[in-house]
Amino acid sequence: MSATTAPELAAVNAELGRDAAALTRWALGLNKAAIVTTNFRPFEAVILHMVSQVQPDVPVVWMDNGYNTEATYQFADAVTQQLGLNLKIYLPLRSRAHREAVDGPTPALDDPRHAAFTQEVKLEPFTRALRETAPQVWFTALRATDTAVRAAMEPVSINPDGLIKVAPLLHWSSKDLHEYCQQHGLPNNFDYVDPTKGEDNRECGLHLSH
C-alpha cells in the first residue's frame, strides 16, 4: 500500500493512528527512504527506540544548534550508543562562538533578529539535512499536547512536497512515554532548552515550514 491519496491516508490514520508500533511498522514497510528527526528533548528515546527496532540503520537527524545543555549532549551520546543509532548531526554554518562574537547573545523572542537566529541554527540545517538525506518518509516525535498547531495534525500526513510525515506518538501522554521508557530501560533527559522556542508551547518553525 502506498500512502499517496487522501482516502488512503484517512484509512491509515483511522486504523493505525493510535497504535504507534503498528504505524511505525506500516510506514517503514512502504520501503521508502526514511529519516527520524530528534532534538534529544524529554522522552525522545521512545521514537528512536520504536523506529530503530524495526529498521536499525534509519538515519537519525539531529540539528544541533550549539546551545544545548550538558545533560542533553550526554543524553544524546548515551541513547545513540545504547540503541546503536545511525546519527547524522547537522550544525549551523557558523559556530556558537562565531555567532556570538559577531551578533551577540541569543536574541529575545520579541527581538526582530530572532527569526534570523532560528533560520540560522535550526531551519537552514534542516533544509540541508533534507537535501542530503532525500527522505520520502519523515518520523517525528510530535505530540498533540505540545502546541495548538500540533493538536490539529494527523498521525500521518503528506507535505506539499510529497514527504510523508509520520508522528506515531501524536496521541501519547507523558505517562505513556514514561512507562515505555521504563519498560524498555531507556534513558531520559529533562534538562533541555530550545533557544529558538523559549517556551514549551511555542512553535520553532520547523513544522510550519515543513
Check which CATH number belongs to the domain holding 153 and give it.
3.40.50.620
User: Stretch 113-124: mean pLDDT, rounded?
Assistant: 96
Cα within 13 Å of Cα(182), Cβ side: 6
pLDDT value of residue 203? 44
Percentage of residues of the chain with pLDDT beyond 70? 91
Asked about 181 being catalytic, the answer comes back as no
User: Stretch 130-138: mean pLDDT, rounded?
Assistant: 97
| 191, part of any domain | yes
| 128, part of any domain | yes
| 1, part of any domain | no
Residue 147 confidence class, pLDDT cut points 50, 70, 90? confident
How many domains is the chain built from? Answer: 1
| 108, part of any domain | yes
pLDDT in tens, 167-200: 999 999 999 999 999 999 999 999 999 999 866 5
pLDDT above 90: residue 209:
no
The CA distance from 43 to 51, in Å, is: 14
- Among candidate residues 127, 204, 206, 210, the one labeled active-site is 204
User: Stretch 111-116: mean pLDDT, rounded?
Assistant: 94
Q: What domain range is 85 assigned to?
A: 6-209
| 47, part of any domain | yes
The model's pTM: 0.89
| 124, part of any domain | yes
